[in-house]
Structure 1
Amino acid sequence: MARYTSSYIATVSLKQLPPLLNQILESCEFEVIYQAIDYIMAREIPGKVTFSKLVTVEVLIESTAAKENEVPVNWVIKNDELPLQVENHCQQKFQKIEQAINKNSQWRLIASVSN
């Protein structure tokens, strides 16, 4: 299973964060399939790759650690594909999400881990 994680701080209020997350996910060709106050799950839109390569994104919003305009957010990007190549499909989607986040000035990277 390919799995990539990132931790960011969003410099927006907790109330403004969900629409921002949805916008990023939609721009990267993901559809939100579940949303709660502190959790969002999205999946890659089927049809372009085989089922085992479909990527799932979990966004964990640390609402208890949120300050007035700073909210810690953890991203987990994963699929069932074995990461036998450095340039696998999951890693490409991870990079696409990271680029979308980095283009937006409301995010600050804390940590990024690939495994």
Structure 2
Amino acid sequence: MARYTCLFTVEVPVNNLQHLLIEILESCNLDIIYDTGDYMMAREVPGHVSFSKLVTVEVLIDKSVAAEREIRLNFVIKNEELPLHLDNHCHQMYELVSRAVAENRHWQLIEAVAG
């Protein structure tokens, strides 16, 4: 099973966060399948890769950071594919999602840590 993680700290108004995350994930060809406000799960839209390569993205939203507008986002990007090559489909999706989060113009990126 391929699995990649990354942690982002962003500055954004809390009331805009859900909408922005949904927008980012959908722009990466992912459908939101679960959303509780503090946790979001999205799955890659079927049709472009085999079922075992379909990527699932989990986002844990931590609003308890010391600053009022800072939010910590913990991403887990995974699929059932064995990561036999460094440039596997899951890693490509990890790069796509990471870049989309880091380059979003609607918030300020404070910190990014790849896992």
TM-score by length of 2: 0.92
Helix, strand or coil for the counterpart of 1:85?
A: coil
* CA-CA distance at 1:66 after TM superposition: 6.1
Partner of 1:36: 36
Unaligned runs of 5+ in 2: none
Is the CA contact (8 Å cut-off) linking 1:66 and 1:72 kept in structure 2? no
Partner of 2:101: 101
Residue 17 of structure 1 aligns to which amino acid in structure 2? L
1:78–1:4: structure 2 CA closer, same or farther, 3 Å change rule? same
TM-score by length of 1: 0.92
* CA-CA distance at 1:30 after TM superposition: 0.2
Quick one: distance in 2 between partners of 1:109 and 1:90?
23
Residues matched between the structures, number:
113
Percent sequence identity over aligned pairs: 48
Which runs of structure 1 show a deviation greater than 3 angstroms over 4 or more consecutive aligned residues?
none
The two structures, once aligned, show a CA RMSD in angstroms of: 1.3
Unaligned runs of 5+ in 1: none
Q: Deviations over 1:52-93 (max 9, x none)?
A: 000000000012336321111100000000000011000000
Partner of 1:67: 67
